[in-house]
């Protein structure tokens, strides 16, 4: 134990010395100035969604410590198989000594992660990442590319941001002029047990409005907020979108109670696609989500959108992966790889 501790301290000292001699200063999403290596070659990523940003930058193979698991994110591990060899933890807490032993040179954490200080005390450059809308996600991608430190990563970040801007502009051009009455009430259910929905001031609310809808749960503020079935009955959504991992409404305790909803009567209950990360939440596949949602809410406005082809193109362009039409269809149906 003593030898391991000494080795860890030496590794931390080496890391600090090399960072001071060769590092750069980067400002993370929380405004912290962090000294990072010239390139982040061995990354511990403590934010589930942030993995998709690194993969988009062509740096997924640099993740050597992960909070994700193949059972929960089968497409992520299929497309980035090197994750199967990464140090994996349950929850979001890494052991600093284990990170030093794995020669981690950079740590990414989510904004609310309380472990950041422990990693810093161990001498590990630690960056807090946070975004809750498209502009902040684009900024976060550019910051991540700066930390990765390769020309390819910077070029990818710029290409992705331009792609997202084009998709937003094309959709907004057709939905911005819709009246309130032309905008269906959309309820996004993140969990059925317990019943949780996504309200205003969220990325979910952003893509619902961009796609030409109204958030049925707009009176609620924030992500994944627990609510009552009575509220859902009061909101009377026209369309219900259920998160990929939440199960099916027909198999839930609310199947009979919600049978009177217009969305259920009109067969407008949809499972959200999920690939590398759930499209509806905080990953780069949000650029696909807005296309899928626009086509779902207003098919007459977007006859040109072919989601199978769009998914294949995106995965080839940003994940360096040749996705078959069959696999793209499985992702669109929130099904894992066979």
Mean pLDDT by 10 residues, the chain (338 residues): 50 48 84 97 97 98 98 97 97 96 98 94 97 94 98 98 98 97 97 96 96 98 96 98 93 94 97 97 96 98 98 98 98 94
**pLDDT, position 22:** 54
**pLDDT tens digits, one per residue of 191-216:** 999 999 999 999 999 999 999 999 99
> What's the pTM?
0.91
Domain positions in the chain: 2-163, 179-332
- Give the Cβ contact number of residue 28 at 10 Å: 23
**pLDDT, position 12:** 52
Q: Are 65 and 104 in contact (CB under 8 A)?
A: yes
**pLDDT, position 245:** 87
**pLDDT, position 18:** 45
Give dist(CA 33, CA 128) in Å, integer. Answer: 10
Closest CA relative to residue 242, chosen from 288, 273, 267: 273
Give dist(CA 222, CA 11) in Å, integer. Answer: 41
Rg of the chain (C-alpha set): 21
DSSP assignment, residue 221? B
Going by DSSP bridges, is the β-strand pair 43-45/106-110 parallel, antiparallel, or unpaired?
A: parallel
Tell me, rounded to whole angstroms, the distance of Cα 19 from its chain centroid.
29
Are 2-163 and 179-332 the same fold in CATH? yes
Helix H or strand E segment including 66: strand 63-66
**Domain 179-332: CATH superfamily, name plus number:** Nitrogenase molybdenum iron protein domain (3.40.50.1980)
**pLDDT, position 338:** 82
Architecture of domain 2-163: 3-Layer(aba) Sandwich (3.40)
**pLDDT, position 319:** 98
């Amino acid at each position: 134990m003593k030898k391991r501790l000494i080795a860890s301290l030496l590794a931390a000292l080496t890391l600090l010395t090399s960072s001071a001699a060769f590092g750069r200063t980067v400002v993370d999403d929380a405004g912290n100035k962090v000294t990072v290596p010239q390139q982040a070659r061995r990354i511990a990523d403590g934010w589930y969604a942030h993995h998709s940003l690194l993969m988009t930058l062509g740096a997924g193979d640099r993740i050597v410590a992960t909070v994700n698991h193949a059972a929960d994110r089968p497409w992520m591990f299929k497309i980035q198989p090197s994750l199967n060899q990464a140090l994996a933890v349950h929850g979001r807490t890494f052991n600093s000594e284990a990170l030093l032993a794995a020669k981690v040179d950079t740590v990414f954490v989510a904004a609310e992660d309380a472990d950041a200080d422990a990693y810093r005390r161990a001498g590990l450059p630690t960056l807090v990442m946070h975004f809750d809308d498209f502009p902040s996600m684009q900024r976060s991608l550019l910051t991540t590319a700066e930390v990765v430190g390769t020309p390819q990563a910077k070029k990818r970040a710029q290409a992705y941001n331009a792609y997202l801007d084009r998709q937003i502009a094309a959709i907004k051009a057709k939905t911005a002029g819709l009246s309130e009455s032309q905008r269906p009430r959309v309820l996004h259910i993140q969990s059925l047990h317990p019943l949780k929905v996504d309200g205003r001031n969220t990325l979910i609310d952003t893509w619902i409005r961009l796609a030409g809808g109204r958030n049925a749960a707009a009176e609620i503020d924030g992500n994944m907020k627990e609510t009552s079935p009575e509220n859902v009955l009061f909101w009377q959504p026209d369309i219900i979108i259920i998160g990929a991992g939440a199960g099916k409404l027909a198999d839930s305790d609310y199947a009979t109670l919600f049978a009177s909803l217009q969305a259920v009567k009109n067969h407008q209950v949809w499972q959200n696609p999920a690939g590398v990360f759930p499209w509806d939440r905080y990953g780069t596949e949000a650029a696909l989500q807005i296309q899928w949602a626009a086509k779902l809410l207003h098919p007459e406005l977007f006859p040109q959108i072919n989601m199978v082809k769009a998914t294949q193109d995106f995965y080839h362009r940003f994940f360096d992966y040749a996705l078959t039409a069959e696999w793209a269809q499985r992702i669109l149906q929130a099904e894992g790889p066979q």
